[in-house]
């Protein structure tokens, strides 16, 4: 009963290709996120969706496009992949969007993307 | 802009000792601060949340303090075990309230 799942776990592809990563949560949460963790292990927010609506779009190239078909799914599509896109991408979810009371985030296992 | 720093990239201690990890932040006062654990090849797992009006929070062998004057949180693991070896991340909500900002983490190694 995986709470937050991502597919694929590993993705090796050539520069210039387009790829997608899928994320699903079965926790009944309203909010989902995409994070990027680079080679220095720095975890940075990319996007946040609350009830299928985009909340955050950090400084991310527009080659990255999130799509939320329903509140249990948040997919990430990447166009024209570049070498610098190589990283681990984590999906996460929380019960509601960040509030002053604090929302615990539940992370998926990550997708390791390697662009050659 | 908000900054969050975890001073040590790595911390090595002997089994049974107390590990103390530091998280400092600048530029504003967050309503709360969270600590996560990340094992190699896995996503972060939530451990503890401490609010600005709480000085200390405990959970089993874990203890977190929050000093809003010093803008610092300390994370303690008492009676540490090799199974505690992992990377520990602190995180706080950004000032806009739209995202969690994570520190770079401290990798703890507990040797037997």
Is B33 in contact with B14 (CB distance < 8 Å)?
no
Interchain contact, A109 vs B49, CB within 8 Å = no
**Cα Dmax for chain B:** 44
Distance CA A33, CA B61 (A): 30
Q: Which two tokens stand for residue B103?
A: 């520190």
Q: What is the DSSP letter of B64?
A: E
pLDDT score of A13 more than 70: yes
Nearest-CA distance B16 → chain A (Å): 28
Mean pLDDT over residues A21-30, rounded?
95
Query: DSSP letter at B1?
Result: -
Separation between Cα atoms, residue A67 and residue A65, nearest integer Å: 7
Among A5-9, A48-52, A100-104, the range with the most confident prediction by mean pLDDT is A5-9
Judging by beta carbons within 10 Å of its beta carbon (0-12, 13-18, 19+), is residue B46 exposed, middle or buried? Answer: middle
Under an 8 A CB cutoff, do A102 and B51 touch?
yes
Structure tokens belonging to residue A33: 């996120």
Q: How far is CA A89 from CA A9, A56, A70, A82, A112, in A?
A: 10, 16, 20, 15, 7
Mean pLDDT of B99-110: 92
What local confidence, expressed as pLDDT, does residue A2 receive? 72
Q: How many angstroms separate the CA atoms of B106 and B21, rounded? A: 7
CB distance A75 to A22 below 8 Å: yes
Distance CA A103, CA A31 (A): 10
Helix (H, G, I), strand (E, B) or coil at A35: strand
pLDDT (0 to 100) of residue A59 = 78
Q: Find the CB nearest A90 among B32, B43, B87.
A: B43
pLDDT of residue A20: 98
Q: Which of B44, B51, B98 sits opposite A98 (nearest CB)?
A: B98
Contact between B43 and A108 using a beta-carbon 8 Å cutoff: yes
Nearest residue to A23 via CA among A115, A84, A112, A107: A107
Proportion of chain A above pLDDT 90, given as a percent: 72
Q: Residue B101: beta bridge partners?
A: B92
pLDDT at A53: 85
Give yes or no for a contact between B78 and A32, defined as CB atoms under 8 angstroms apart: no
- pLDDT for A39: 84
CB of A104 closer than 8 Å to CB of A3: no
Q: Among residues of chain A, what percentage have pLDDT more than 70?
A: 95
Q: Do A104 and B49 touch (CB under 8 A)?
A: yes
Q: How far apart are the first and last CA of chain B?
A: 41
What's the whole-number mean pLDDT along residues B11-30? 92
User: pLDDT tens digit string along B24-57?
Assistant: 998 777 888 999 999 999 999 999 999 988 989 9
């Amino acid at each position: 009963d995986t709470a937050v799942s991502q597919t694929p776990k590993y993705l090796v592809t050539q520069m210039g290709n387009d790829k997608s990563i899928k994320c699903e949560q079965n926790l009944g949460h309203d909010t989902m996120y995409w994070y990027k963790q680079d080679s220095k292990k720095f975890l940075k927010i990319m996007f946040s969706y609350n009830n299928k609506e985009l909340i955050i779009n950090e400084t991310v190239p527009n080659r990255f496009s999130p799509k939320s078909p329903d509140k249990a799914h948040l997919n990430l599509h990447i166009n024209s992949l570049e070498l610098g896109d190589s990283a681990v991408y984590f999906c996460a979810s929380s019960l509601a969007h960040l509030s002053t009371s604090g929302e615990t985030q539940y992370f998926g296992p990550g997708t390791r993307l390697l662009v050659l | 802009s908000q900054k969050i720093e975890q001073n040590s990239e790595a911390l090595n201690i002997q089994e049974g000792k107390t590990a103390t990890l530091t998280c400092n932040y600048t530029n504003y006062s967050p309503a709360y601060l969270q600590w996560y654990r990340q094992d190699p090849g896995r996503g972060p797992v939530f451990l503890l949340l401490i609010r600005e009006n709480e000085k200390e929070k405990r959970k089993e062998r874990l203890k977190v303090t929050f000093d809003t004057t010093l803008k610092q949180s300390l994370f303690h693991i008492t009676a540490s075990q090799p199974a505690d070896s992992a990377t520990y991340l602190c995180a706080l909500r950004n000032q806009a309230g739209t995202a969690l900002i994570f520190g770079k983490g401290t990798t703890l190694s507990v040797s037997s």
